[in-house]
Amino acid sequence: MKEQISRFLPAECPWGDTLHWFREVASTNTLAKEMAGQGAPHGTVLIAGSQTAGRGRMGRSFSSAEGKGIYLSVILRPECLAQQLMHLTCAVAVSVCDAVEKSCGVRPSIKWINDLVLGGKKLGGILTELSIDKGAIQYAVVGLGLNCTQKAEDFPEEIRDIALSLQSYIGKNVDIPKLTGAIIHELWEMDKHLLSKDFMAAYKKDCITLGQEISIVRANEISHGKAVGLTADGGLVVQFSNGKEETVQSGEVSIRGMYGYV
């Protein structure tokens, strides 16, 4: 599988040399954090055929059926402060949208901050985890889960209404190694100018949350408002129903459309 994926990487991309493929792991993000702690270099890529404990934001699980999705984590070691890289999840989301568009001819949208969406349903998600020492990043693990060839019955019943795969949306076969190669390629390109906030202009175009009425769940409290803007760091500017405007950061909140998943 490693060779099949590497075929789709440009020869000059060194990340093919630090690519690890596993048939099954608990979570590629968890394993990547272990490997990073043991000194795995920048650009180490972990891919799994399936995960038994795939994780999403806010402690949620990520359904990872064998051979039907892309379950991938990359270890990055940018030399900067965490504060300079608040937009990392946004940059990854845009890069994955670019790869899907180039490889499959359809561009997903983004539901703030980390969900990839097609046809109003969840196509995948990104889980970014940072190790920070005195404000500086020791390493970042960027995890991506992307539904590729699942049929509705392959998803657990509780997410069947809100999840979908790329293949079922485009109605054509999805070549998983080719798409995986395209994603690694885009992430490698992204890494070359990681500190630039230029990603936010593309993110703004892809983000379907902007302009929507949303519910915001914070510390078990639900409030309602309208998403009116994005900051350069990827914060969501919300106008609450009491008229107050506030920027919410991804760490603290979960958002839903007022009338459904998106």
Binding region for ligand BTN (CB under 6 A): 27-29, 51, 54-57, 60, 62, 71-73, 114, 125-127, 143-145
**Rounded to 5°, angle at Cα 116 from 110 and 117:** 85
- In the complex with ligand BTN, the residue whose CB is nearer, 92 or 137, is 92
Q: Which is nearer to ligand BTN, 130 or 136 (CB)?
A: 130
Question: What strand order describes the sheet that includes 253-257?
Answer: 245-248, 236-240, 221-230, 213-218, 253-257
Nearer to ligand BTN, 128 or 168 (CB): 128
CA distance 70 to 250: 23
Distance in Å, CB of 214 to ligand BTN, minimum: 17
Min CB(141)–ligand BTN separation in Å = 8
Query: Strand 121-133 vs strand 136-147: parallel, antiparallel, or unpaired?
Result: antiparallel
- Minimum CB distance to ligand BTN smaller for 126 or for 236: 126
Nearest to 62 by CA among 3, 116, 109, 119: 116
Q: Say if CB 60 and CB 94 are below 8 A apart.
A: no
Minimum distance from residue 37 beta carbon to ligand BTN (Å):
16
Alpha-carbon distance of 71 to 49, in angstroms, equals: 7
What's the closest the beta carbon of residue 140 comes to ligand BTN, in angstroms? 13
CB of 112 to ligand BTN, least distance (A): 12
Which residue sits closest to ligand BTN, CB atoms considered?
125
**Beta carbon nearer to ligand BTN, 144 or 200:** 144
